[in-house]
């Protein structure tokens, strides 16, 4: 715990057997109380590795639910553990767990309720091997999203995030997509609900074991992000209503 707040790390996993152990043993267990891994019907031995290294909470989908569907299971379960702070970390070792202590302290000290680890701040993305086309579209999309959503984030596309349980519970995340655009929809919901978002600089590693989506899936994701930002804008202007913002003010 940190400041008497229970910290739960959730690992949405798919074919993470090669990197899970390395990720897990860098988690700072002096402040992290529980680790939850949800295996999204992997084709490798992710579940066996998780049990071997001692992860207590190992969940497994019988059928692949997608990246967003996987996160829904993660957050649902973390809330049943009475988490106060939830850290979402990819188990592919693209992001270092060593930042958990810094990220968590921001929330534990009641400074912000949502924190993103940004690959863009400090130039970590290109240094870590992010493909140039992904970096370019990340910057273009982030610019458009900031304009439409009235924010000043360095990126919306990091897979390393932390939330208070209150923040997660206050938005209808089950109405979001089960695909990769879930991440952006969740951020849009949190912004819509009035949460300010902090960012910390994060180095990143693009290695052959790290998960990645192909070009066509990237295009689909990018279109989904733009649609989400436009829906946010139209909803805030009371021009149209969209289900992902139902009940939010």
At 172, list the tokens: 């209808």
Handedness of CA 31, 76, 179, 63 (dihedral sign): positive
pLDDT of residue 211: 57
Task: Say what the pLDDT of residue 65 is.
Answer: 97
Is-contact 198 182, C-beta < 8 A? Answer: no
Domain ranges of the chain: 7-245
Query: Using 50, 70 and 90 to split pLDDT, how confident is the model at 200?
Result: very high
**What is the C-alpha separation between 42 and 174, in angstroms, rounded?**
22
- 199/248 Cα distance (integer angstroms): 23
Inform me whether the pLDDT recorded for 130 exceeds 70.
Answer: yes
Question: Which pLDDT score, from 0 to 100, does residue 53 have?
Answer: 98
Indicate the CATH number for domain 7-245: 3.90.550.10
Q: Tokens 């995030």 sit at which residue?
A: 161
Close Cβ partners of 117 (under 8 Å, ≥ 6 residues apart): 95, 99, 103, 158, 160, 161, 199, 200, 201, 202
Average pLDDT, the chain: 94
* Burial bucket for residue 213 (CB in 10 Å: 0-12, 13-18, 19+): middle
Instruction: Flag the least confident range among 112-126, 174-188, 204-218, 229-243.
Output: 204-218
Please tell me the least confidently modeled range out of 2-6, 41-45, 134-138, 231-235: 134-138
Q: What local confidence, expressed as pLDDT, does residue 83 receive? A: 98
Query: Which tokens is 240 given?
Result: 């149209």
Residue 65: closest CA among 27, 94, 38, 89? 38
CB-count burial class (<10 Å; 0-12, 13-18, 19+) for 54: exposed
How far apart, in whole angstroms, are the C-alpha atoms of residue 211 and residue 209? Answer: 6
User: Can you tell me the distance from the alpha carbon of 244 to that of 13, in angstroms, rounded to the nearest whole number?
Assistant: 25
Q: What is the pLDDT of residue 210?
A: 56
Q: What is the pTM of this model?
A: 0.94
């Amino acid at each position: 715990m940190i400041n008497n707040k229970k910290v739960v790390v959730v690992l949405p996993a798919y074919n993470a057997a090669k990197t899970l152990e390395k990720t897990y043993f860098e988690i700072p267990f002096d402040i992290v109380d529980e680790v939850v891994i949800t295996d999204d019907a992997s084709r490798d031995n992710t579940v066996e590795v998780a049990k071997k290294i001692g992860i207590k909470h190992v969940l497994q989908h019988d059928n692949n639910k997608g990246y967003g569907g996987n996160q829904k299971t993660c957050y649902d379960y973390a809330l049943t553990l009475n988490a106060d702070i939830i850290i979402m970390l990819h188990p592919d070792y693209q992001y270092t767990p060593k930042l958990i202590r810094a990220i968590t302290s921001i929330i534990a000290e009641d400074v912000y309720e949502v924190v993103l680890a940004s690959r863009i701040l400090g130039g970590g993305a290109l240094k870590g091997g992010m493909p140039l086309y992904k970096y370019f579209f990340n910057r273009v999309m982030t610019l458009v999203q900031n304009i439409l959503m009235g924010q000043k984030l360095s990126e919306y596309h990091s897979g390393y995030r932390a939330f208070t349980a209150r923040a997660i519970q206050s938005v209808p995340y089950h109405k979001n997509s089960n695909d990769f655009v879930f991440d952006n929809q969740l951020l849009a919901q949190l912004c819509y609900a009035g949460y300010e978002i902090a960012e910390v600089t994060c180095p990143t590693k693009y290695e052959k074991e790290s998960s990645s989506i192909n070009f066509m899936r990237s295009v689909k994701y990018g279109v989904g992000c733009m649609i989400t930002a436009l829906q946010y804008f139209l909803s805030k202007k009371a021009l149209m209503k969209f289900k992902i913002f139902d009940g939010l003010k």
